[in-house]
Amino acid sequence: MPLTDAQCRAARPAEKVQKLSDARGLFLQVTPGGSKLWRMNYRYEGKQRTAAFGSYPDVSLATARLRAAELKDKLATGTDPALKEGQAALPAQTFKDAAREWYRAREAQWVSGYAARIWARLDADVFPKIGAKDVAAVTPAEVLALLREVENRNALEMAKRLRQTMSAIFRFSVANGWASSDPAAPLAGAMKSAPRQKHRAALREDQLHDFFAALATYSGDRATALGLKVIAHTFVRTSELRLATWDEIDGDTWRIPAGKMKMRKEHVVPLSPQVQAMFSELQDLSRGTPFVLPGQSDRKPVSENTLIYGLYRMGYHSRASVHGFRSTASTILNESGLWRADAIERQLAHVPANEVRSAYNAALYLEERRQMMNWYSDLMNRHEETKPKSQPVKQMNPDTDLTDLLGG
């Protein structure tokens, strides 16, 4: 039976996408997120396609029926209903072909590792399901079904990112005339929520003396101890120090290239006199290699686990993480009341979500940040020199195998 306006008004979201059928192939799609979308399936040149007529109640039942009738009229004359007036027909694109074109258009702005993960995710979870299907004919129900399979592996964050990637591909397809809508967009509200993430362990300010005392007696590699001390003073991310090269450092300034930053924006780190002294010693230890922390081969930097292993050997397994020094610094700097929040956030390399300028000013608040970093290093020194407030942290035997602690 044809739909009534009362049925459209009364429709309520459920766990799965609902399809309320009208006449002429027209139906109202009710998403788990509460959207009510007018859709119509039709075939053109032997291919299944889906037309979108807007959302209810912005588009009334009567208007949706009128648009469905207009679509039928176009089909009767041999015209593709998806084309605008005067627009030339474009060849149909499979979802995989559309994804490949989208990937090529954006690959240059991604680092190779990230680009590889994006494609691998699509290749494993999406292409086997809808890769060969016309991108214009993919339905929200099909997208949700493959996302549910990913969620059922307990990969909730991956499912969320996969939906975002697919949505970007569909929007790219709409812009190129290969599709008329993004069937992944209304599914955001249907995704399962991931459990709250456990924050990485971070030291409180009153625990810093014990940390520096343990660091002073560290029995491992001297460069690793200095690396941890640089992290404590500058609170950069592990990868930013691990991949650092000497050409990035010029006197009292460290310029980290955009390609090494999480947000793909150049980052300036003012270096206090104390940190400059640490880098000077590290340069003496670097054996003439381009890396601040060279690995055993000199052609590569130290491994990803070197610094965290250093913390574990100091007795800080589960008590502190390398990344946690960022949280420690943020808490201390914000609670001091001496520095503007914007300056602190910039020094943490947090780019605001509403940042719309194409050229991000890496030197923003630089003079204030320079004073702030000098103040912070002085504070670290005071904690290093104060008397202990507790028993020293027991360090591990240097021969201890640490792979078990990392789940290896």
Q: Are residues 122 and 65 in the same domain?
A: no
262 belongs to the catalytic site: yes
Contact 357, 231 (CB under 8 A): no
Q: Are residues 186 and 234 in the same domain?
A: no
Q: Are residues 69 and 125 in the same domain?
A: no
Pick from 147-161, 182-196, 295-309: least confident: 182-196
237 belongs to the catalytic site: yes
199 belongs to the catalytic site: no
Residue 346 lies in a domain: yes
Q: Are residues 25 and 116 in the same domain?
A: no
309 belongs to the catalytic site: no
- The total domain count for the chain is 3
- 231-234 — which CB contacts under 8 Å span 24+ positions? 231/307, 231/322, 231/325, 232/208, 232/325, 232/380, 233/272, 233/274, 233/275, 233/278, 233/373, 233/376, 233/377, 233/380, 234/269, 234/271, 234/275, 234/373
350 belongs to the catalytic site: yes
Given pLDDT bands bounded at 50, 70 and 90, which one contains residue 166? very high
Averaged confidence pLDDT in the chain:
84
pLDDT in tens, 3-33: 898 999 998 888 887 889 987 788 998 887 7
pTM across the whole model = 0.52
Name the catalytic one among 36, 65, 163, 237.
Answer: 237
| Residue 23: per-residue pLDDT | 79
Name the catalytic one among 36, 326, 369, 370.
Answer: 326
Residue 88 lies in a domain: no
Q: pLDDT at residue 214 above 80?
A: yes
Q: Are residues 237 and 183 in the same domain?
A: no
Which residue range(s) make up the domain with 331?
Answer: 205-406
Residue 198 lies in a domain: no
Residue 256 CA to residue 32 CA, distance in Å, equals 44
Name the catalytic one among 19, 74, 255, 360.
Answer: 360
Name the catalytic one among 9, 106, 262, 287.
Answer: 262
Higher pLDDT, 228 or 111: 228
| Residue 390: per-residue pLDDT | 53
Pick from 197-201, 255-259, 309-313, 337-341: least confident: 197-201
| Residue 351: per-residue pLDDT | 67
360 belongs to the catalytic site: yes
pLDDT cut 70: percent of the chain above it = 86
Helices (H), 32-90: 61-76
Pick from 50-64, 132-146, 159-173: least confident: 50-64
| Residue 308: per-residue pLDDT | 92
Q: Are residues 342 and 399 in the same domain?
A: yes
Higher pLDDT, 166 or 56: 166
Of 137, 159, 190, the domain-final residue: 190
Name the catalytic one among 72, 264, 319, 350.
Answer: 350
pLDDT in tens, 333-384: 999 899 988 889 899 988 654 443 434 566 688 999 999 999 999 999 999 9
For 245, other C-beta atoms within 10 Å of its C-beta total 15
Residue 281 lies in a domain: yes
DSSP three-state, residue 350: coil
Q: Are residues 69 and 109 in the same domain?
A: no
Residue 280 lies in a domain: yes
Element (H, E) at 123: helix 112-125
Strand ordering across the sheet containing 36-44: 18-21, 26-30, 36-44, 47-55
Q: pLDDT at residue 86 above 50?
A: no
Residue 178 lies in a domain: yes
Given pLDDT bands bounded at 50, 70 and 90, which one contains residue 394? low
Given pLDDT bands bounded at 50, 70 and 90, which one contains residue 112? low
| Residue 359: per-residue pLDDT | 46
Q: Are residues 53 and 101 in the same domain?
A: no
Residue 86 lies in a domain: no
Strand 47-55 to 249-250 pairing: unpaired
CATH number at residue 72: 3.30.160.390
Q: Are residues 345 and 301 in the same domain?
A: yes
| Residue 148: per-residue pLDDT | 93
DSSP state of 79: -
Q: pLDDT at residue 197 above 60?
A: no
Sign of the Cα torsion 400, 404, 405, 408 reads: positive
Residue 38 lies in a domain: yes
Residue 316 CA to residue 392 CA, distance in Å, equals 11
Q: Are residues 237 and 378 in the same domain?
A: yes
